[in-house]
Amino acid sequence: MNNQSTLLDTKALATTTAVTKASSKAKVLTGDRATGQLHLGHYVGSLQQRLILQEQYEQTILVADLQGLTDNGHNPHKVSDNILNVVADYLAVGIDPTKTTICLQSAIPALSELTMYYANLVSVARLMRNPTVKSEIASKAFGQSIPTGFLTYPISQAADITAFKATLVPVGDDQLPMIEQTNEIVRKLNHIAGQQILVECQPLLSKVSRLPSCDGKNKMSKSMGNCILLDASAKQITTAVKSMYTDANHLKVEQPGQVAGNVVFTYLDAFYPDADYVAQLKAHYQQGGLGDGALKKILEECLQQLIAPIRERRAMYINDKAQLIEILKAGTEHAQAETDQVLQQVKSAFGLNLF
Ligand code: ATP
Ligand code: MG
């Protein structure tokens, strides 16, 4: 692919975006914390699905920089340095800004304002009971110093979802309590308003909602530094696959090996295009006669083929920061207009619409 055909015509973007938005398709909202480059977990957990969703729905993707700050308040560069990285990742995998609105959370004031209104409808006890928040607080070892922004981020997510009137929210299974909490806020607000101002949303789960890291111990995650990035070099891919956990008791090729808990098979299930072939490999491995080296070679080739074109496109986008900013700005301006309307409705529900 040459530069001419891949780089987007940003001048035409605002016009095309407006045309797309005039449709009455159901609305989908997703987002990513701007805490690092995106990785293979994002690819199978959300990006692949977003490529399909952008063809069928009115999709908004939020670069969640404010949410990134909720556990990085004292290290804000981690967030600000990664905003354009995330946008470049979107474009590199094929998110098309003429079909999907890509926007920046901190530059949409209605999202923060809505958070303030909704905060009055949620008790601290309810936030503390949220299972995702509970386990994240434990794993982040905040001790007695939980940032208020972190504790309240489910309220901010409810603001994001409702501000875009999203009815479908693609999430990992760990995010289901956020949907529940959002819908509670929606019901409370509608009750106060005496009419249906906000709409409830439904989760959309992806096939792979928790891709493990190479050692199989944790979820692949930006903050844990255990990722295969979408622009990993050929050498990094080779090293990562070689390091993958297989079956500790599979010492000789002729021995039967275990598929359950074998990270190489988890990845083949997630990425290899031919599921029948993966089933044959599993049978062979369980029977004995298929070595870890040969198995890893198959996965490595598959990941090399997947990542090489993404890496190439990403390098092109990240070298044109002006274009990335232009795309993000156009999407954000569109989002500002859309979310302001919902904010006005919510303010009216509280009777705070004097002028
Ligand atoms: P951080 O460590 O900063 O929280 P992260 O790597 O967990 O970053 P997020 O921005 O929190 O990434 O995740 C955004 C979305 O990406 C999630 O809701 C989920 O759908 C998807 N996702 C992230 N990591 C994975 C993974 N390992 N497997 C599948 N999906 C994932
Ligand atoms: Mg996360």
- Looking at residue 124, its amino acid is V
pLDDT of residue 141: 81
pTM: 0.91
Residues in the chain: 355
pLDDT one-digit tens code per residue, 121-150:
999 999 999 999 998 998 888 888 999 999
273: DSSP letter: S
Residue 28's SS3 state is strand
What is the residue with the minimal CA distance to atom 25 of ligand 1? 41
How far is the C-alpha of 252 from the C-alpha of 155, rounded, in Å?
A: 53
Q: Six-digit token pair at 223?
A: 């903050």
Does the structure show a pLDDT above 70 at 8? no
- 190 CA → ligand 1 middle, Å: 31
SS3 at position 143: coil
Closest ligand 1 atom to the C-alpha of 39?
6
Per-chain mean pLDDT for the chain: 91
* Ligand whose nearest atom lies closest to the CA of 35: 1
Q: Answer yes or no: are the C-beta atoms of 62 and 28 closer than 8 Å.
A: no
Q: Is it the case that residue 7 has pLDDT exceeding 60?
A: no
Give 354 Cα–ligand 1 centroid separation in angstroms: 41
User: How remote is the CA of residue 252 from the centroid of ligand 1, in Å?
Assistant: 36
Give the per-residue pLDDT at 23.
55
Query: CA 289, CA 266: separation in Å to the nearest integer?
Result: 20
Complete edge-to-edge strand list for the sheet that includes strand 58-64: 100-104, 58-64, 27-33, 168-171, 202-205
pLDDT score at 276:
98
**All domains in the chain, ordered by first residue:** 3-212+321-349 (3.40.50.620), 234-310 (1.10.240.10)
Show the tokens assigned to 186: 């929606």
Q: Whose CA is nearest to atom 19 of ligand 1?
A: 172
Alpha carbon of 249 to ligand 1 centroid (Å): 31
Nearest-CA residue for atom 8 of ligand 1: 222
Instruction: Give residues (CB < 6 A) around ligand 1.
Output: 32-33, 35, 41-42, 45-46, 171-172, 175, 208-211, 219-223
Strand partners, 170: 204
